[in-house]
Structure 1
Amino acid sequence: MRLLPPHKISSTLLDVVLEAKKELVLVSPYVNLTYWKQLAGALTAARQRGVRISMYIRDENPVHREQVEALGISPKLINSLHAKLYYNETSGLVTSLNLLSSSNSNTIEIGYQLESPAELEELRSFVQQHIAPFEQRPAVGSVKRGPQQLPFGAVLDEYLCEEVDEDTFIDQDQDDELRVRALNNTFYVAIEHPGNRFILRGVISGAEADRFPSKQRRHFNSSALRYALERGGFGRYDMVRAELPQRLATNDLDQLSHPEQKRLITLVAEFIVAVRAFKDDYHG
């Protein structure tokens, strides 16, 4: 057993998935791989090459269940699950890391890599004795739900990669705000409540902020948005803020209707391009 530094835990997990040939067991209470595309792709590839996959997750969150089912894997639901461990036929990982995009990018985790046959057999026995027997079986006659609308962040990510910057990266923080890295800058997308106001923010430097009053009309001229300068201070960045005047019907980005999604995604793309042009105007 070997203690891993935090920056190697997610890559070790990926190796466990990629190197699985016969067996892959994943135990994680929470699963959301919307922004962890590399791991989602590795799991899909493992299933397609015939690896027998068992995935144990907590039973009370239907969104996490749908995430697993979208990968073509039937999750095994366990009440009060808190353990996190992953193994194939030759190596394993016991860790604090959930299968969450946020865990991969925003948190400090601990993990031990298991490599010997004896250690793997102990881990396999632990699952069979303490986890597998407590699987919650679906109720007889339960209705299977149809396909769910993709999360707003996933749709936005795909659009921005195609239309703005192929290297776009999106993750979600604790307050359900999306953080977007595109065109070498950081942006934030959120619904502000109370009020259900759709808000966009783009990071700018202090010197760029000083020029905002004189350059605003040149770069920020969409009639759909109201623009303002947000001064940071106390370790916070200065920002260009854009707000949609009309209130939305929900305070959850993932509950937006499809027409709302399409409209707002276009506004996000236009805002990102406008902020980039404003910054380039200062440095040009």
Structure 2
Amino acid sequence: MLNTLRKIVQEVNAAKDLKAALGIIVQRVKEAMGSQVCSVYLLDPETNRFVLMATDGLNKRSIGKVSMAPNEGLVGLVGTREEPLNLEDAAAHPRYRYFAETGEERYASFLGSPIIHHRKVMGVLVIQQKERRQFDEGEEAFLVTMSAQLAGVIAHAEATGSIRGLGRQGKGIQEAKFIGVPGSPGAAVGTAVVVLPAADLEVVPDKHVEDVAAELLLFSTALDGVRNDMRALSAKMASQLRPEERALFDVYLMMLEDAALGNEVVKVIKTGQWAQGALRQVIGEHINRFELMD
């Protein structure tokens, strides 16, 4: 289970956006736990309802359409109690609510885990099976762990503004709200600045640009700067490194050539992605391919 969990986390972290991450979660968790259904319900802050945002097993057409208030259904119960709910016969529970469009009448057992980040409920992760049975402690622990991983992904998407499709009409969230802790009384007015950690590509969001030529020039200038830094560092370390070690600098320089990573990034930029996002996407794809190798 630990190895399976690690692989799922790697795939989720490499996902290009929240929608892709949710798709990976429901598919991989369903396979890992041998269940017939895995679904993710996210709490829409505007309507205060849990909205079905991804599923593997239920009717795909119900995604974004099926929702319930915190006082409705088993999903609402998991969200309000903020703890897992493990049922052998879900339909027999007084809080069970039937949605014809999902086709869930075929499934008896239910295991739901709240998705919580910084003590705030963000949604519910659910698995279901046709036969009546109680999920064991190991299965429950696995789902709780996946919920914690998913909470971080959702919080990251909110913070970077890269969330897609969190509204029931498919409307993306256009702004994020952060609650701060006051250091002193009074009011202050200033300019907010979003700082992207320079060494963490994963936090770089997608961003559409109209001036593709400007982005290509920005990327080309950045490449020239890195090449110059590499050459200067190689010369500086010449007396301290063996020839085979210095050869690594040549390898790094080759990786930056147009025939290697450079050309792939340029292709992505030409689709309308900004240079930073294009670099993150290309590097992420390479990382994902390497991590899936034995």
Q: TM > 0.5 between the two?
A: no
Q: Which is richer in helix? A: 2
Q: Which is richer in strand? A: 1
Larger radius of gyration between Structure 1 and Structure 2: 2
